[in-house]
């Protein structure tokens, strides 16, 4: 691995799973990559666990949201001059052992953004994804693809890798601080014409079930429709949106 890879691990009250997540990362990646944990105002001992693992920790004293944590990670990547930025959630819902599969397309120059797709893995429900999340994931992905005229198999995955060229050009500061941040980023990447590749990953759900409740998921779904509406207004020239400029 010649390029400088930064592995960003967002955490919020994941003290019970962050060590397991880190230990499952292939040894050769742990030796060559750099790590940063962004703790979003955890009330457990997530910070202490991460520091005992020898990981760089940036702590938010107040809850800045999922998107806010990503922005902090992006800024740190630019600060240290990383070439590749990989996101690995700390709750064991994405398999760290297959990290090479996520990294290879960006390291080889085949893609600017790689998305780990549980849908391509074809065993999302068998792997423990709740049925209502599966149905909403498929529907929202379909309508987002229609809106942009592209073909991504899963927008709603947190297992992804970016080239730094993407991060330096994206107006991500104009994106939300909440869960819709990930979808907004894909819209921005596609809008700028970058290459997106999705690769199959298993659905594991080895840790506690995601903190996104049914109600939160419903609000998230409505936010996707709002994102599509803003994107179309921008593309049609009616109302220019800073996040797409």
State pTM to two decimals: 0.93
State the residue range of the domain holding 176: 5-244
Specify the CATH number for the domain of residue 153.
3.90.550.10
CA pair distance 125, 118, nearest whole angstrom: 10
Give phi and psi for 198, each to the nearest 5.
Answer: -110, 140
Residue 233's DSSP bridge partners are none
Q: Say if residue 132 is exposed, middle or buried (CB neighbours under 10 Å; 0-12, 13-18, 19+).
A: exposed
Residues 6+ apart with CB under 8 A from 241: 174, 230, 231, 233, 234
What is the sign of the dihedral through the CA atoms of 185, 203, 198 and 159? positive
Q: How many residues belong to the chain?
A: 245
Task: State residue 206's pLDDT score.
Answer: 54
Per-residue pLDDT of the chain (245 residues; tens, 9 = 90+): 579 999 999 999 999 999 999 999 999 999 999 999 999 999 999 999 999 999 999 999 999 999 999 999 999 999 999 999 999 999 988 999 999 999 999 999 999 999 999 999 888 888 888 888 899 999 999 999 999 999 999 999 999 999 999 999 999 999 999 999 999 999 999 999 999 999 999 987 654 545 566 677 788 999 999 999 999 999 999 999 999 99
Task: State residue 209's pLDDT score.
Answer: 46
| Structure tokens given for 7 | 């592995």
Residues 6+ apart with CB under 8 A from 56: 34, 35, 36, 37
Domain count of the fold of the chain: 1
């Amino acid at each position: 691995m010649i390029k400088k890879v930064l592995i960003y691990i967002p955490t919020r009250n994941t003290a019970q799973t962050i060590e397991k997540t880190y230990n499952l990362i292939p040894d050769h990646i742990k030796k060559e990559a750099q790590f940063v944990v962004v703790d979003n105002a955890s009330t457990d001992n997530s910070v202490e666990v991460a520091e005992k693992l020898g990981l760089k920790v940036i702590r938010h004293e107040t809850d800045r949201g999922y998107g806010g944590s990503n922005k902090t990670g992006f800024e740190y990547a630019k600060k240290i001059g990383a070439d590749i930025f990989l996101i690995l959630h700390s709750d064991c819902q994405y398999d760290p052992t297959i990290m090479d599969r996520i990294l290879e397309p960006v390291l080889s120059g085949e893609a600017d953004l790689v998305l780990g797709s549980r849908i391509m893995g074809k065993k999302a429900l068998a792997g423990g994804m709740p049925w209502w999340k599966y149905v909403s994931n498929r529907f929202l992905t379909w309508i987002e693809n229609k809106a942009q005229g592209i073909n991504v198999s899963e927008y709603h995955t947190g297992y992804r890798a970016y080239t730094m060229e993407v991060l330096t050009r994206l107006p991500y500061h104009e994106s939300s601080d909440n869960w819709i941040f990930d979808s907004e980023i894909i819209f921005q990447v596609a809008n700028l014409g970058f290459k997106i590749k999705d690769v199959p990953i298993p659905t594991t759900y080895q840790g506690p079930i995601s903190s996104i409740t049914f109600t939160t998921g419903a609000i998230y779904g409505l936010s996707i429709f709002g994102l599509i509406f803003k994107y179309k207004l921008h593309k049609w020239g009616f109302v220019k949106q800073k996040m797409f400029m």
